[in-house]
Structures are given as C-alpha cells and as structure tokens.
Amino acid sequence: MATITPQELQTKVGEHLGTSDWVLVDQEMINKFADATGDHQFIHVDEEKAKLTPFGGTIAHGFLTLSLMPLLGASTDGPKVGGVKMGVNYGCNKVRFLSPVRSGKRVRSHIKLLELEEKRPGQWQQTNEVTVEIEGEEKPALIAEWISQFFV
C-alpha cells in the first residue's frame, strides 16, 4: 500500500478513510477480557445463564469492543502515513455503545477523519470517528471519536 504525508492526510478531513478487516469476537476472547479486567458479570461469561436473557447468550463487554479499535484500525484499507516513528492513544471525545456484540459475531470498523492538527513540529493529533459494525446487524456496536497522536 502506498504511503502519504501528514499534509496529504490533512486534505482528507471529513472523508471516510477506510474499512477494516472482520474480527471474530468469540467466547474465548470475552473470557480473557473478563479475566484481564475483573468484570465477570454473568452476561459475559456464564453461557447457560446468559441464554435466559433477551440476548439469548453471552455478549462482549462494551469496553472489549472499544479496545479492539487499534486492532481494527491497523487492518483498515485506508491511507497510511509514511515515516511514523511512534503512535499513541490520546483518548476519546465521545463513546456510545449502541448494540451488544454477541459471542461468535464478527465486527469491523469504518473510519472517518474528523481532524488532523500538527501540535508541534513532527507531532500530529488525529481525531477519527470510528463506527464498529456488527456483521449482519443494522445497528453498530459503537461509535466513538478516537484521538491519537503520531510522530514523524
């Protein structure tokens, strides 16, 4: 894939930058996230009890879905800035969990560039709107304004 400069990326503010590959959210991933965070609520980890809920089975933690954004972003088919020495998460302006991700479903992201600003020479701050789609479902899992910085 060809690379672009930060200045070339700046011309794409307001545009859709790309779509990621699909990622499977299975029960093993959900269980590992529960162990890592200490959030073992039954709706996430007890498959039998979760069958009795309106979801009909276990669902991923909202924060698990949110935490997939770097993985999804890395596989996005959009333009890549060349010469990046380092990238860091800076935070989110908004995060909304719109629909649960059921165990066994696949998700992917759609990224729209909202803002790109050079904070200091070689240090760029990028704000993207990230929509995480659930395969076969109308409503997305989440929409977030994700802020990251990269250094060239």
The pLDDT tens digits for 88-98 are 999 999 999 99
pLDDT of 1: 59
Nearest-5° Cα angle at 84, 79 to 85:
160
Does the predicted model carry a pTM greater than 0.85?
yes
Q: What would the mean pLDDT of 126-133 be, rounded to a whole number? A: 98
In the numeric block, which tokens belong to residue 148? 């990251």
Q: What pLDDT does residue 25 have?
A: 98
